[in-house]
Amino acid sequence: MIIRNCKVCVYDIEIFPNCFHCCCKNTETKELYKFEISERKNQIEELVQFFSNDLFMFCGYNNHHYDDVVINYIIDYYKVLTGLPYWRICQSLYNLSQTIVEDEEGSREKIKRWKYAHYFQSMDILTMQFSQKLRVGLKTMQVTMHYKNVYEYEGDFNQFLPLSEIDNMILYNINDVESTEELLSRLKPDIELRLFIEQEHGIDCLSMDSVKMAETFLLEEYSKQSGIPKNVIKEMRSTMDYIPLKDVIMPFIKYKNPKLQDVLEDMRKQTVYSKERKSYEKKFVLSNVVYSVGVGGIHSIHTPQIFLPKDDEFIGHADVTSMYPSLLILYQLGPRHLGKLFCDIFESIYYERIEAKRTGQKIKNLFLKIVLNSPTGKMQQEVSWMYDPFNVFKIRINGQLILLMLVDRLLELGCEIIQVNTDGVVYRAKNSLREGIQEAISEVEQITRLGFETNEYEAFYQYAINDYFGVLKDGSIEEKGMFITKTKLGKGLSPVVIPKAIIAYFTQNIPVTEFIEKDRDIRDFLMSQAVDKKFKVVHGDKPIQRINRFYASTNGPYLFKVTKNEKPTNISSWNEYKQEESWSNMLTKSGVTILNKFDDLPIEDRKINYRYYISEAKKVIADFTEQQLSLF
């Protein structure tokens, strides 16, 4: 891969008290470079020379917060370090590593010099993918990538590495580098997007997640057009701790239904604390559907149910086109401290995106979509220069009340509401009501000045508000939550054969057993679980690595996570207890086979516990069908 006319070199480092190793791979030539500092060799000079090569763009996973800091330190103190024996160098690097890992206020100050140094070009594909709260380790990423080898080093990084173990550690280091290279290749569209932004707007965002990228772009634009320095803008806020909802609700919000009138009146009486997301929530029943409205948003609450239209019926879906951006623009609901200019800038971006979409500029359209969706999240974060809880409440509260305006009209027409959430309203209605429904949608559009988009389902299978699948008119399947059949990077690994079998059963009438036993892709059966570092993992009676990829099998032992119990202060009670560890079964219904390293074993020889997967799929199907029978 070439970025900024430089060959991309993927790299990763490992540090022990007595050993340092850095592995690099040229993504163009596929050549591996290894640099070691140990009792066997001291390659610090070669390492510094390599990283001083401005023909490379160095790429890692979490390297901006760890690996880059260490390499910058080595380059900075190169003359001092070259005069030291290998063990003094390793001890110095180990101490630095511990300081980085501590990640405390004092330690951050200590490493600041090397964290923000720029001795070489680098990009971080961890920070590019996820905001801080959503980040996962490389091993978890290997699991969700279906990478060929999920490999955790079993040694202790805080202990001296035996000479005989160095080569094994290097193999582990290489595996990390090669998995990072594969991830980089998969993220090519994300990189192209960021290079487009860099070329068009001069923003270095290769290592930024999408939200940070959008916020940076808006800051640049606002500073440029307002003439206010960015550092001044970053200190601006519109704070408001307590918000009377009567001041938030727009005057056009009105209902005919008495229950909705009561809900609106109750909401107007509330004063909410802006820093608490669940500070106000109200649940109510309307035409046999339970609704929840409040600060956290709107959603209906459901038990599993199947919706199939009769010959004289259809299932419709109506949602507001770009609801939050549209409300911000139409009602000037940008951050109040940024004035009308922010809304003007935002509106111009909105129309620029429409033009990009019309003319087929896919990358530009995607970028502007990200920008348009970013402010409402930032407006509720105190750390953001866009912070304005009052106006973000106006956007979110009125958004859900507008959807209820449509619900009000649909119920009056005799429609059945299937679900309501921030994505819109799904309903079932007689074909004879089509014209009346369109008139109702048009009336809400006229009152609110918003636009609605509509589509239809052939069938809708709703397990819960965020777990459903629907068959669209063109035959494609819309999947949500537990019914998603594609593994998302960094979002956990569950056996997709189960939702695939459920969907096939309902949409193609394929028996669950037949579908599952005919699936030839072992990846469809794989699963994993997040395990905190305080646990060790045991397979049968054998300790194994903490992060694992496995499948239910007929010949595998159970998989446990084990933690030490805290010793009671009363010694006699501890003697009575005599239980120093707690064992928790990670898959209670079956033993498992670990498949951290893919092999060529035929699927018929894997001893898959098909009964487990069939049972799990049939359980969901039973929830649907039993609930369906109870409705009649």
pLDDT digit string, tens, across residues 444-465: 999 999 999 999 999 999 999 9
Q: With CA atoms as reference, report the closest residue to 621 among 494, 527, 516.
A: 516
Average pLDDT over residues 427-447: 97
Q: Which tokens in the block code for residue 153? A: 């080093």
Domain ranges across the chain? 2-196, 211-238+335-387, 271-323+395-483, 506-630
pLDDT above 70 for 75: yes
| Residue 560, SS3 per DSSP | strand
Q: With CA atoms as reference, report the closest residue to 274 among 252, 234, 247.
A: 247
Any bridge partners for residue 284, and if so which? 291
* Residue 79 pLDDT: 95
Residue 629 pLDDT class (50, 70, 90 cuts)? low
CA distance 318 to 456: 9
Phi, psi of 122 (to 5 degrees): -150, 160
| Residue 239, SS3 per DSSP | coil
Matching residue, tokens 């039993």: 626
Whether residue 500 contacts residue 510, with contact meaning beta carbons closer than 8 Å, is answered with no
Four-point Cα dihedral 490, 493, 498, 501, nearest 10: 50
Q: With CA atoms as reference, report the closest residue to 445 among 490, 507, 401, 402.
A: 402
Q: Which of 132-146, 507-521, 597-611 has the lowest mean pLDDT?
A: 132-146
Strands 313-320 and 424-430: antiparallel
pLDDT digit string (tens) for 215-230?
999 999 999 999 999 9
* Residue 580 pLDDT: 76
Task: Provide the residue type at 81 as one letter.
Answer: L
Phi, psi of 32 (to 5 degrees): -100, 140
**Fold annotation for 271-323+395-483:** Palm domain of DNA polymerase (3.90.1600)
Whether residue 462 contacts residue 477, with contact meaning beta carbons closer than 8 Å, is answered with no
* Residue 292 pLDDT: 93
R_g of the chain, CA atoms, integer Å: 29
Phi, psi of 36 (to 5 degrees): -125, 140
Please say whether the dihedral angle defined by the alpha carbons of residues 327, 329, 335 and 337, taken in this order, is positive or negative: negative
Alpha helix segments (H runs only) across 319-388: 323-330, 339-358, 362-372, 375-378
Residue 275 pLDDT class (50, 70, 90 cuts)? confident
CA distance 330 to 468: 32
Q: Which tokens in the block code for residue 318? A: 């109506």
Q: Considering only the top CATH level, what class is 2-196?
A: alpha beta
CA angle (421, 374, 203) in 5-degree steps = 155
Half-sphere exposure of 14 (CA within 13 A, CB side): 31
Whether residue 61 contacts residue 180, with contact meaning beta carbons closer than 8 Å, is answered with yes
Alpha helix segments (H runs only) across 77-209: 78-81, 86-102, 105-115, 125-129, 138-145, 166-186, 188-201
Give the Cβ contact number of residue 471 at 10 Å: 19
Residue 64 pLDDT class (50, 70, 90 cuts)? very high
Q: Which tokens in the block code for residue 298? A: 């709107």
CA distance 385 to 34: 44
CA distance 546 to 559: 11
pTM check: above 0.85: yes
pLDDT digit string (tens) for 498-528?
999 999 999 999 999 999 999 999 999 999 9
Q: What is the mean pLDDT of the chain?
A: 94
Any bridge partners for residue 141, and if so which? none
Please say whether the dihedral angle defined by the alpha carbons of residues 102, 104, 110 and 116, taken in this order, is positive or negative: positive
* Residue 40 pLDDT: 95
CA angle (70, 72, 74) in 5-degree steps = 70
Whether residue 541 contacts residue 560, with contact meaning beta carbons closer than 8 Å, is answered with no
Whether residue 554 contacts residue 608, with contact meaning beta carbons closer than 8 Å, is answered with yes
- DSSP class of 534: T
